[in-house]
Structure 1
């Protein structure tokens, strides 16, 4: 079961128990009588569940990074916080946007429901906005005909310390961040799925190019040769957006990472 739905049901059930106790049962209990078990283990938790549900649904939500697709920005094991209202207020459970507060900007790191399986949450960096023409040729990114600036950085040592990767500083809009390449990996997309608006993309031996449709975004991982992203499964619809990642709040293996990354 979806955790948000599970939390909603817990809040609903405990809220009903709290209301029944507050407005009916409590008035009929003898003075000094102990609370029954359903109050002690049910209704008394309503405030806690309600606070967590509201905080998680409308303000911030924690996530754990499960893979290395966003190395070097985010590492497996990073616990991050996601701003849930950055791109609008959505009703919990049904995910319908009711108030539009903004749109993703080029370079934002976003959490979204995976278009192929919306029960899964993915995290990537926004590269293409609606209407953009994005090219990734020979591992160089071009947006609307302009090559994205790169500055060479020292080679990056992978977390398992078994390999090095070429590291660059990339600038997307106002965002400056590091990306890595695997020099041995080819520039082309070796595997890709059928996806909505697939006809807007062209694939060839040197890479790919796509026109981003309205209401959608093209996203890539910062680990450019170690990420399954829009190159493989297509665009992210606006309705799939969960929020904007903004803070690493914990990492059990490396406490120095607390407080990053934007």
Structure 2
């Protein structure tokens, strides 16, 4: 396993904060931190490195720029590389299904849409700024929130709100997400990462084994239907990927026009 590259040009940055906290940062601000193949590979490498390092007890996932993550890079989708944005063992972005025994906190500034919301939902906690937003707009592009988002959102939001999100594709603002329980801490703009790091440091002061086992038990209670949900998700994703609407949605986005659905 290669260590993540830690230069300013890297698309995913890795940093140690103090003795026991890792900060992982998405670094494609010019494209709203959209996930390409390189991001998926690098983020997976970060997860594996953090799991292997016993001195790291908690991790924060942040991003640079005005957006947390716009989800899949639709230029990759239009080029036929949609399936490559998911790693074989860890799923979309090398993250959403990754085995993680340590707590992860998403520090969300600006929009987290599509796969960006799915990445945030895959974390254990979310700190969001006032300008953050969460949405699953895949249906607008002939896609589906097939990286856990369409079912995980029901774990944290009331069922009618979750359904509205996935079938309209419309986002919800950070304050409403906080009021509904999707967000742990709502903070002023610019304080997302510092607040998430303080939360991670609080966790890191506790007994590591107690934290890991408590997290394992709490996750299990919340995710007892994970296997069944993923099996159904695979079925519906296959149906969507077989549709010509998939390519049409991506092309329409790139060409800045309304899509013409055929299915």
**TM-score, normalized by length of structure 2?**
0.23
More helix by share: 2
Please tell me whether Structure 1 or Structure 2 has the larger radius of gyration of its CA atoms. Answer: 1
More strand by share: 1
Greater RCO (CA < 8 Å, at least 6 residues apart): 1
